[in-house]
Structure 1
Amino acid sequence: MKRALVLGGGGAKGVAHVGVIRALEEKGFVPDLIVGVSIGALVGAGYSILADSSSLWEITLRIHRKAARWLSLRKSRGNTYSPIFNTIACAYLNAFGAALPSGIYFRTLRKHLGGYRFSDTKIPFICTSTIMNSAKLCVHNEGSIYEALRASMAIPGLFKPEEKGDLKLSDGGILSNLPVSVAREANSTFVVAVDLSSSNRVTSFSTSNSILGLMDEYKADLILQREIAAADILISPVMTRNIDLLDYSSCIDVMNESYEETLKCDLNGVTL
């Protein structure tokens, strides 16, 4: 049996994957393949290199302590972005077609993963991005992990698409935020999928932007349901707080909550 772990996208909520992985490992589940998209790709890459959930947990804590003040782009209280971020983002968006300079944002990522290649992992690893030229999924399983992660995490509007030859690559979650089908295509016979997309969705019809956002979410849900149906086990951590896409201020709490919740999960009698 080839067992795969699929880690979905979810922005800052992605630290929940760290807690889920730790709990699954304690329950006896260690994957033969890890597939990730966006923030799930980042956590998946770390786990594939370390092959140890405790080390992943400790490193995540250390990175959070050092980088949280740079990574969190919203105020710790309230729902507004900081004035500094608003000013920089608007200027950069007007000049370069993206709200953030990806080189600065991914500096920590480059420091920790810049030298790794897919062939260096202890657990085979795959991540996905979206080919903007053709609206097709790009599967990354060779070469530089850092470059693949930049593509998989290039959220449209926030970061410019990454370039690979003639291809322009953006966040893999555009086409599939839970790429179970990719794990199946890699001949996985048993798939545990971790979906973060449904946590704390706020339905609002107050502005045109919120309505357009909901339309995008509804369309993404149609794809998501097909991916969920292809998984053997689905884990969807329920979070007790609203977490914005780029608000990393609650990382430690989210990790602990997802860990405790997964430990209590009824896995339908499946022996992991």
Structure 2
Amino acid sequence: MQVKKITATLLAVLISLTLHSQSVGLVLSGGGAKGLSHIGVIKALEENNIPIDYVAGTSMGAIVAGLYSIGLSPDEMIRLFRSDEFKSWQQGQSEKMYETHIYRRDATPELFGATFNFSRKEKKINYTLPTNLISPYPMDIAFIQLFASSSAAAEYDFNKLMVPFRCVSADIVNKKPYVLRRGGIGEAIRASMTFPFAFKPIMIDSVLMFDGGFYNNFPWDVMIKDFNPDYIIGAKCSTNPTEPDTDDLLAQLENMMMVETNYNIPPEKGVLIDGDYTNVGLLDFEMLDAMVQKGYELAMKNMPEILQRVRERRSAKELSEKRLAFRLKTPQVIFDNINIIPDTLRKGKREFII
């Protein structure tokens, strides 16, 4: 009889703990190189044993959130962004091992191209403007290396990653945000960070995708809708567009296309980590150390409130075990077959398929 009472008591305690366990969601804004500060925010949270149960981000925030969702630690992210490989991806340069496999145009001074058609039926000139300034192929291959095995381990369901993940892209045809919940993580992040003219847009679910920051640069609403955590920690490193200079094309594009974002997390739902990022450009990735330190300091400034509001704790040992368990599930990436669908290519390009 006594054993039954003890068992019942233990069961009641376990049920109570389960019912009252507190979940935490981390939301990371876009902001180009300023988004490197998100790594410092995560570092501060982990050092204080604050759990991160869900992550969501846009553009650069999607990159950092995606890396965290597959188990990379802040120190591993720092090494990645400091590496020569990352510098090559950022500049659209191929790694030496792939140089013979990636198409690369010869350097020319041209801004746009023209095609002359002298057929009897149709005499015309077709003008083509570049869709991107940075070659996408090295980055696309890098994203396969980084994310493909984790996508497979999660069965292409972002809820099954080490940390459930969401990112936002922009459906520019229908002019609305597009939340990515399934598929390849690399493709989703690539869509979320595709800034016009800098990177070539990609198609997902037959939708042409651009940088999610145009329609939702801080997806705390997505975090609530999809995960509804007890507490949200938001990291903001961007602002709504200000008047651009006459010679700043990227800033002009931001002003033309970007919808004003609501960065105000209701106080009862969470906290916003914010700071001044003046004089940090979209592509100033050489400021890695300064940005990580800034994010860390801003997070530590808000830590007393976070520690007071978040009761749950997750030790470094528990986090390490969680990372290891997910990594053990990931298969090796092997390129064993390449399928080309001729119907998707123009007539001229089909001639190059053997």
> How does the TM-score come out when normalised to structure 1?
0.78
Higher relative contact order (CA 8 A, sep 6+): 1
CA gap 1:185/1:62 in 2 versus in 1, 3 angstroms: closer
Judged with a 3 Å threshold, the aligned counterparts in structure 2 of structure 1 residues 234 and 208 are, in CA distance, closer, same or farther, namely: closer
Q: SS at 2:82's partner residue?
A: helix
- Distance in 2, matches of 1:111 and 1:47, equals 15
Task: Show the counterpart of 1:79.
Answer: none
CA distance in 2, matches of 1:130, 1:89: 29
Unaligned runs of 5+ in 2: 1-21, 92-106, 114-126, 152-157, 311-354
Is the alpha carbon distance of 1:204 and 1:100 closer, same or farther for their aligned partners in structure 2, counting shifts above 3 Å? Answer: closer
Letter in 1 for 2:229: S
* 259-268 or 140-149, which deviates more: 259-268
Partner residue of 1:20?
41
Q: Decide whether aligned partners of structure 1 residues 22 and 90 sit closer, same or farther in structure 2, where only a CA change above 3 A counts.
A: farther
**Aligned equivalents of 1:68, 1:126: Cα separation in 2:** 23
Match of 2:164 in 1: 124
Q: Distance in 1 between matches of 2:162 and 2:301?
A: 28
**Matched ranges for 1:124-163 at <5 A:** 124-163=164-203
3-state secondary structure, aligned to 2:149:
coil
Map 1:1-272 to 2 at 5 A: 1-50=22-71, 55-67=73-85, 69-70=87-88, 90=111, 95-117=129-151, 118=158, 121-186=161-226, 187-198=228-239, 212=252, 215-216=255-256, 220=259, 222-225=260-263, 227-229=264-266, 232-239=270-277, 242-265=279-302, 268=305, 270-272=308-310
- Whether the 8 Å contact between 1:68 and 1:248 is mirrored in structure 2 is no
Segments of structure 1 that go 5 or more residues without pairing to the other structure are 74-85
The amino acid that maps onto 1:232 is G
Give the number of the structure whose alpha-carbon radius of gyration is greater: 2
Indicate conservation of the 8 Å contact 1:6/1:35, yes or no.
Answer: yes
Q: Size of the alignment, in residue pairs?
A: 252
Q: What is the CA deviation profile of residues 138-191 of structure 1, one whole-angstrom value per residue up to 9, with x for unaligned ones? A: 111212101111111111222232112421111111101101100110123321
Q: How many angstroms apart in 1 are the aligned matches of 2:251 and 2:163?
A: 41
In the superposition, the TM-score normalised over structure 2's length comes to 0.62
Change (3 A) 1:160 1:72: closer
Change (3 A) 1:127 1:102: same
* C-alpha displacement of 1:242: 2.1
Instruction: Name the Cα RMSD after superposition.
Output: 3.3
